[in-house]
Chains A and B, each alone.
Chain A
């Protein structure tokens, strides 16, 4: 068997692929954050809790309403996105004129509360959610077994990321959104309802987190702290990619997933730390992030 840096080649390929899969989650999550920060200037620390709500909503639809995974994929973003809209209208919209820190504190606190409520209700060890029958099984790639579901996650994430990027960079709606961040009063003067657009943007960002939660439900156990582990990493991803940069967060998400995957082979003890080391280096060399505009 051929070795690369002392690691058997098949194992290394397997790890690269796994890194890509985890990167898909990072990309999807950081995309939502980047959209919200880029257009609302809010650092949405509730994102992890909203990801978790997505997974729980999928579980509830299955257990209580008998609706399967595919229905969940369709309905959960709408339901959880709607809770985001309500949250934005009732609370977050009151903070736009204040310093970033207030938004951060509010969303951070809300995240803790939501997580606590779910923990009280459902406990901490999690609930089982089965992989849908259509996506069960695995492909034998020669160097590893790739569960079909994980492959599906990568594809779904890529499609979502691409669609979001196209929506914001290439459509008229996206142009309005970008214009509104530059100069809201002027866009409003052209007859665009900016506050409503901002609210819907927040809802959209939350919906992205919720889809991430549905995709994650069959892989990780559906538990209240599932978002907490992810959110810190995802923030590092957003910072490395450049706050608010859509493309930056997508590329960085996938890239860091791979870096983390490789760390798990060469020095597993550091796999939780490596992303923050990279973040520190990037901040020193390019304070605006890899793809950010200074």
Chain B
């Protein structure tokens, strides 16, 4: 048989949907809680969570122990595509998955947000950054875990303006996340008396050469170039800025979202001196060091970052809520289990004590770090110096400013 255009098309569509088929084989046990880890396992955001996020989830299940019900963890790759992600989520929820976690890439994160609400299931997003998840698009089924664009903008953006960087140019990934990050950072720059000289929105994820945008940024005579992007895009942007001598004239680079694995990939020689914000660092205190040590057999020679370990933290909290209200009740309604999570205080080794607000925002402190120079770094993954801590109550957008319909004003 000669393959026709149609059969080729069918094969392609089939291949795209393949990972959506969950491995739920056995008869559905009423006493089993199923957690689906939905993230990027093959693209630009893989190293931020991906397989490590799954391992962190399993670690939480292991540490939670046996409380009279079984817990099963499944996973899939959403390929950073909102349609693929929403399809998998819908299928999972229909087939008895009780909670979906992780979901990086804001466009996918928002798509799954709608599915969870429609199916009345629980959804904890740890991977997406957009602050709309607890703002205009907030949902009673959704909790947003360890960061968002507002918190990044306030910490990194605020610190840069305070240090004299009062004119900005943005290089922005052209999708929900980049737009939200640029918008939130702009608010802080303007509030502090700074101005934005311009911005470019580049196609995501099809761009690997940023030199053209860097030159445009340089020509704008802005004092700070803000990268409203993440993962491999940020890595390439910073490498190429160094190559083109962008910082030679005193221009500062602001990586508005950078994770520990990004610094690892760029190397300290190029990354040193960069200022960035995370809500977790493995070498922050005794508790973070302890949990990182416990994770070592699972993560091998990689250290957890705020995204991968957020899966650990949120899984623990969710399982505590399930144990508290019973398996049957938590399976019955996603809103109920999320409400129970909001009513209970959070505490774990990764993020310390915290709480979840009515709009679904999990509160934790944010930390402003500076990347160490090669001379300062004593061991592999010894990358950050703590510059400043923003307490949990101040790190995120005030609850009445997000426009979330769950908040009574």
Complex alpha-carbon distance, A230 and B205, angstroms: 12
Q: Which of B43-62 contact A (CB under 8 A)?
A: 43-48, 50
Contact indicator B243/A116 (Cβ below 8 Å) = no
Stretch from A7-15, A68-76, A286-294 contacting the other chain: A7-15
* Contact assessment for B3 and A265 in the assembled complex, using a CB-CB cutoff below 8 Å: no
- B236 contacts A265, CB within 8 Å? no
Q: Number of contact residues on A: which range applies?
A: 35 or more
Q: Complex Cα distance A225/B207, Å?
A: 12
From the candidates A10, A219, A225, A261, name the one contacting B43 in the complex (CB within 8 A): A225
Known: A124-B42, A264-B213. A138 touches B245 (CB 8 A): yes
Q: Is the CB of A269 within 8 A of B203?
A: yes
Contact partner of B215 (CB less than 8 A), chosen from A18, A101, A102, A127, is A18
How far does the Cβ of A236 sit from chain B's closest Cβ, in whole Å?
12
Q: Which of B187-236 contact A (CB under 8 A)?
A: 200-203, 205-209, 211-213, 215-216, 219, 231-232, 235-236
- Chain A residues contacting B166 (CB-CB under 8 Å) are none
What are the residues of chain B within 8 A of A126 when measuring CB–CB?
232, 235, 265
Whether B235 lies near A269 (C-beta < 8 A) is no
Report the separation of the CA atoms of residues A144 and B205 in the bound assembly, to the nearest whole angstrom: 27
Which residue of B47, B212, B232 contacts A261 across the interface (Cβ within 8 Å)? B212
Is A149's CB under 8 angstroms from B201's CB?
no
Structural contact, B2 and A11, CB atoms closer than 8 A: no
Pick the residue among A8, A119, A125, A145 that contacts B265 (CB under 8 A).
A125
B2 partner, pick from A19, A99, A225, beta carbons under 8 A? A99
Total CB contacts across the A-B interface at under 8 A = 120
Please encode chain A, from 56 to 72, with 1 for each CB lying within 8 Å of some chain B CB and 0 for all others: 00000000000000000
B244 within 8 A of A: yes
A125–B212 contact, CB under 8 A?
no
Contacting pair A223 B244 (CB below 8 A): no
* Given A99-B2, A145-B244, CB of A125 within 8 Å of CB of B231: yes
Q: Mark B299-340 against chain A: 1 for CB-CB distance below 8 A, else 0.
A: 000000000000000000000000000000000000000000
Is A268 touching B213 in the complex (CB atoms < 8 A)? yes
User: Cβ of A125: which chain B residues have Cβ within 8 Å of it?
Assistant: 44, 46-48, 231-232, 235, 261-262, 264-265
Q: In the complex, what residues of B have CB within 8 A of residue A19's CB?
A: 212
Residues of B within 8 A of A147 (CB): 243-245
What 0/1 readout, one digit per residue, does chain A (119-136) give for beta carbons within 8 Å of chain B?
100011111100100000
Q: Would A219 and B265 count as touching, CB distance under 8 A?
A: no
Q: A126-181: which have CB < 8 Å to B?
A: 126-128, 131, 138, 144-145, 147, 149-150
B283 close to A (CB within 8 Å): no
A183 contacts the other chain (Cβ, under 8 Å)?
no
Q: Do the beta carbons of A116 and B42 come within 8 Å of each other?
A: yes
Say whether, besides A125-B264, A271-B202, A101 and B208 are in contact (CB < 8 Å): no
Contact of A225 among B44, B235, B262, B267 (CB under 8 A): B44
Contact between chains at B207 and A272 (CB < 8 Å): yes
Is the pair B212, A105 in contact by a Cβ cutoff of 8 Å?
A: no
The closest CB in chain B to the CB of A22 belongs to B209
Asked if A226 CB lies within 8 Å of chain B CBs, one says: yes
Q: Does A221 contact B (CB under 8 A)?
A: yes
Contacts of A101 in B (CB 8 A): 2-3, 8
Inter-chain contacts of B47 with A (CB < 8 A): 123-125
What is the distance, in angstroms, from B266's C-beta to the closest C-beta of chain A? 7
Given contacts A101-B8, A221-B232, contact A145 B245 (CB under 8 A): yes
Contact A265 B212 (CB under 8 A): yes
Known A-B contacts A119-B42, A147-B243, A223-B232; the reply to A18 vs B262 at CB < 8 A is: no
Q: Smallest distance from the beta carbon of A201 to chain B beta carbons, Å?
A: 26
Complex Cα–Cα for A229 and B207 (A)? 7
> Given the complex of chains A and B, what is the CA–CA distance between A289 and B283 in angstroms?
58
Q: Does B87 contact A (CB under 8 A)?
A: no
Contact B215 A128 (CB under 8 A): no
Q: Does B174 contact A (CB under 8 A)?
A: yes
Determine if A220 is an interface residue (Cβ-Cβ < 8 Å).
Answer: yes
Whether A273 sits at the interface, judged by CB under 8 Å, is yes
**B357 CB within 8 Å of chain A:** no
Contacts of A18 in B (CB 8 A): 209, 211-212, 215
User: Are B3 and A124 within 8 A (Cβ)?
Assistant: no
Alpha-carbon gap, A220 to B233, bound state (A): 10
**How far, in whole Å, are A145 and B202 apart by their CA atoms in the complex?**
22
Report if A15-B212 is in contact (Cβ < 8 Å); known contacts: A119-B42, A124-B46, A268-B202.
yes
CB pair B266 A128 closer than 8 Å: yes
A136: nearest residue on chain B (CB-CB)?
B243
Q: How far is the CA of A255 from the CA of B248 in the complex (A)?
A: 31
Contact between A138 and B244, CB atoms less than 8 A apart: yes
Chain A residues whose C-beta falls within 8 Å of the C-beta of B200 in the assembled complex: 264, 268
- Given A101-B2, A219-B240, A268-B201, A128 and B174 contact (CB-CB distance below 8 Å): no
Q: Are B265 and A221 interface neighbours, CB within 8 A?
A: yes
A124–B51 CA distance with the chains assembled, in angstroms = 11
Given the interface pairs A15-B215, A124-B50, A144-B215, the reply to whether A269 lies near B174 with Cβ below 8 Å is yes
CA distance A220 to B265 in the complex (A): 11
Q: Tell me if B239 is interfacial: C-beta within 8 Å of chain A.
A: yes
The answer to whether A271 and B207 touch (CB under 8 A), given A128-B265, A225-B44, is yes
Docked Cα-Cα span, A122 to B209, in Å, equals 22
Q: Across the interface, name the chain B residue whose C-beta is closest to A220.
A: B208
Cα A70 to Cα B211 with chains together (Å) = 25
User: Could you say which residues of chain A place their CB within 8 Å of the CB of B215?
Assistant: 11, 14-15, 18, 144
List, in ascending order, chain B residues with CB within 8 A of A150's CB: 211, 243
CB distance from B247 to the nearest CB of A (A): 11
**Contact of A219 with B243 at beta-carbon distance under 8 Å, contacts A15-B212, A18-B215 already known:** yes
Report the Cα distance A94→B278, complex, angstroms.
53
CA A264 – CA B219 in complex, angstroms?
14
In the complex, A149→B239 CA distance in Å? Answer: 13
Listed A/B pairs (18) with beta-carbon separation below 8 Å: A10-B219, A11-B215, A11-B216, A18-B211, A123-B47, A125-B44, A125-B48, A125-B265, A128-B270, A145-B244, A219-B243, A220-B236, A225-B42, A265-B216, A268-B200, A268-B201, A268-B203, A272-B206
Beyond A221-B239, A225-B232, 16 additional pairs, beta carbon < 8 A: A11-B219, A19-B212, A124-B42, A125-B262, A126-B232, A128-B267, A145-B248, A147-B244, A219-B240, A220-B208, A221-B235, A264-B212, A269-B174, A269-B201, A271-B202, A271-B203
List the 6 closest A-B pairs by CB distance, nearest first: A272-B203, A124-B46, A272-B206, A125-B47, A125-B265, A264-B212
